[in-house]
Amino acid sequence: MAISFGNGGSGASGYRRRSYRPMSEINVTPMVDVMLVLLIIFMVAAPLLTVGVPVDLPKTSAATINDQDEPLVISIDKDGKLFLQDTEIGLESLVPRLNAITNNKPDTRVYVRGDRAIDYGRIMEVMGTVSAAGFTKVALIAELPETAARTGG
């Protein structure tokens, strides 16, 4: 702490008081740091958000489908329970829920995932129900074999 003696702060013995000037530029470094952390979090979390129903898919050698829209997935687990995305649903309420989600657009692509241990008749029952409701693009999802998954196709 400085003390001024004498003639009001002018001269060799007095100290001049600095005036506060606000900083006129924005410091973007903390904002960039936060954005990079959020980017890493979303990159790690995005693959976990697809479909949360554990299904043991059968293997196939067919080519992968590259579709731009987010798929509408119906899953059937090993116990025969039906799931629309992550939500368990009954077969009788499947069609009204699909119509509500797709806004009655029958050309919406619907994927059916069936566990390897499930009866083929149960999968066909679900596909038949969806097709009978007017959905024309109903497809099965299968897991790629290990060699095709590593080579990319």
Task: State the pLDDT at residue 10.
Answer: 52
- 43 pLDDT band, cuts 50/70/90, is confident
Task: State the pLDDT at residue 149.
Answer: 47
Task: State the pLDDT at residue 38.
Answer: 93
Give domain status of residue 32, yes or no. Answer: no
Give domain status of residue 28, yes or no. Answer: no
Task: State the pLDDT at residue 35.
Answer: 93
Task: State the pLDDT at residue 91.
Answer: 83
Give domain status of residue 85, yes or no. Answer: yes
pLDDT in tens, 87-141: 888 888 888 888 888 777 777 788 888 888 888 888 888 888 888 888 878 888 7
Residue 82: give its domain's CATH number: 3.30.420.270
Count of Cβ atoms closer than 10 Å to residue 13 Cβ: 11
Task: State the pLDDT at residue 50.
Answer: 61
Task: State the pLDDT at residue 102.
Answer: 79
More confident site: 16 or 140: 140
**Domain of residue 82, residue span:** 52-151
Give domain status of residue 57, yes or no. Answer: yes
User: How many separate domains does the chain show?
Assistant: 1
Task: State the pLDDT at residue 144.
Answer: 58
Q: pTM score, two decimals?
A: 0.51
DSSP 8-class letter at 19: P
Closest alpha carbon to 88 in 58, 52, 62: 52
Closest alpha carbon to 78 in 58, 57, 55, 59: 55
- The mean pLDDT value for 8-24 works out to 64
Give domain status of residue 45, yes or no. Answer: no
Give domain status of residue 74, yes or no. Answer: yes
pLDDT in tens, 55-68: 666 666 666 655 55
Rounded to whole angstroms, the Cα distance separating 97 from 52 reads: 19
Task: State the pLDDT at residue 48.
Answer: 66
Give domain status of residue 80, yes or no. Answer: yes
DSSP 8-class letter at 8: T
Give domain status of residue 76, yes or no. Answer: yes
* 3-class DSSP string for 55-124: CCCCECCCCCCCCCCCCEEEEECCCCCEEECCEEECHHHHHHHHHHHHCCCCCCEEEEEECCCCCHHHHH
